[in-house]
């Protein structure tokens, strides 16, 4: 299937590794031009060089902090200056710290708000004028917590639900400008984030990450964790012209684990 993204420009946040990297690579494979960003100059430069070498796509790496408005605006401006346009935006950031409600103070909640919810607001606000020029697509990477709250991820439950509501609210407003916006939920995918959560759970239960993973996989109908590339395939589709009549929706990539309707 030709996704119709050849030559289009996509911004992908948090793309030095994990799901963001996988999406950036998939877009590059399909002929997209990709602007990627993360907090580490070294890591994002390595990611850009690797994807460029493997796909021959035009890709550039930028340093940005999802918690900082000036940093976000600078990345948007640099992308417009370097590529000339913006056709798609992927909102992605490392999740808030795991833990239970009574373990977090105001500072922790404020940090989670800025990282997860306010960063989405700022990125959309910054890129929207460019996206409206020719029409485009916005994709937020959220969490299964927006449908089934996770006990140890109380801050993620709250903040990512806010992002989910933001997307639904904006889908109506932006449709007239031919800008689509959707959520994409990863289940248990082989990433460093999931490895870190497994380690956290193992320590709490005096167990091992391997046992935590085995238990989790037993609850997935497909019997395994997903791969970043499988998730990236769904992301590329939602960002592409092939999804031209899809907006305001939430797609789940989880091997059938979620029980909610």
Give the per-residue pLDDT at 91.
98
Domain residue ranges of the chain, discontinuous segments joined by +: 9-188+230-253, 191-225
Architecture of domain 9-188+230-253: 3-Layer(aba) Sandwich (3.40)
What's the CA gap between 7 and 83, in Å, rounded? 10
Give the per-residue pLDDT at 115.
95
C-alpha pair distances (Å), 211 with each of 191, 202, 204, 251, 258:
17, 8, 13, 29, 20
- Above 90 in pLDDT, residue 193? no
Are 257 and 224 spatial neighbours (Cβ–Cβ below 8 Å)? no
What pLDDT digit, counting tens, does each position of 211-241 carry? 999 999 999 999 999 999 999 999 999 999 9
What's the CA gap between 233 and 49, in Å, rounded? 21
In whole numbers, what is the pLDDT of the chain averaged over residues?
95
Q: Strands 136-141 and 33-38, how do they pair?
A: unpaired
Give the per-residue pLDDT at 192.
86
Residue 59: in which H helix or E strand, if any? strand 59-63
Q: What does the block give as tokens for 235?
A: 């992301």
Q: What does the block give as tokens for 196?
A: 């870190």
Give the per-residue pLDDT at 182.
98
CA–chain centroid gap for 189, Å, is 13
Q: What are phi and psi of 209, to 5 degrees?
A: -60, -35
Q: Measured at the alpha carbon of residue 76, what is the angle toward residues 70 and 81, in degrees to the nearest 5?
A: 120
Give the per-residue pLDDT at 200.
87
- Above 90 in pLDDT, residue 20? yes
Q: How confident is the model at residue 260 (pLDDT cuts 50, 70, 90)?
A: confident
Give the per-residue pLDDT at 95.
83
At 37 the three-state DSSP class reads strand
What pLDDT digit, counting tens, does each position of 140-191 carry? 999 998 999 988 899 999 999 999 999 999 999 999 999 999 999 999 999 8
What pLDDT digit, counting tens, does each position of 42-62 carry? 999 999 999 999 998 999 999
Q: What are phi and psi of 141, to 5 degrees?
A: -95, 115
- Above 80 in pLDDT, residue 261? no
Question: CB-based contacts of 11: which residues, under 8 Å, 6+ apart?
Answer: 34, 35, 36, 37, 75, 76, 79, 86, 88, 89, 90, 123, 127
What pLDDT digit, counting tens, does each position of 88-103 carry? 999 998 888 899 999 9
Show the beta-strand stretches assigned E in 120-241: 136-141, 179-186
Determine the average pLDDT of the residues in 72-79: 98
Residue with tokens 């979620």: 258
């Amino acid at each position: 299937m030709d996704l119709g993204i050849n030559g289009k420009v996509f911004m992908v946040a948090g793309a030095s590794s994990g799901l963001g990297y996988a999406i950036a690579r998939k877009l590059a494979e399909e002929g997209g031009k990709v602007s990627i960003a993360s907090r580490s100059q070294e890591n994002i430069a390595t990611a850009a060089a690797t994807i460029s070498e493997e796909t021959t796509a035009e890709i550039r790496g930028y340093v940005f902090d999802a918690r900082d408005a000036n940093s976000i605006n600078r990345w948007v401006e640099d992308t417009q200056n370097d590529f000339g346009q913006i056709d798609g935006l992927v909102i992605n950031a490392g999740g808030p710290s795991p833990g239970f409600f009574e373990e977090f103070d105001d500072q922790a909640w404020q940090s989670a708000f800025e990282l997860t919810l306010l960063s989405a607001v700022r990125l959309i606000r910054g890129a929207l004028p460019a996206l409206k020029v020719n029409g485009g697509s916005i994709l937020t990477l959220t969490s299964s917590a927006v449908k089934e709250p996770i006990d140890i991820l109380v801050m993620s439950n709250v903040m990512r639900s806010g992002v989910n509501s933001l997307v639904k609210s904006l889908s109506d407003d932006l449709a007239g400008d031919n800008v689509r916006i959707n959520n994409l939920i990863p289940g248990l995918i082989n990433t460093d984030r999931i490895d870190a959560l497994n380690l956290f759970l193992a320590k709490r239960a005096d167990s091992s990450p391997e046992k935590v993973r085995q238990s989790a996989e037993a609850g997935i109908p497909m019997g395994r964790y997903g791969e970043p590339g499988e998730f990236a395939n769904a992301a590329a589709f939602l960002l592409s012209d092939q999804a031209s009549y899809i907006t305001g929706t939430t797609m789940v990539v989880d091997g059938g684990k979620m029980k909610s309707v």
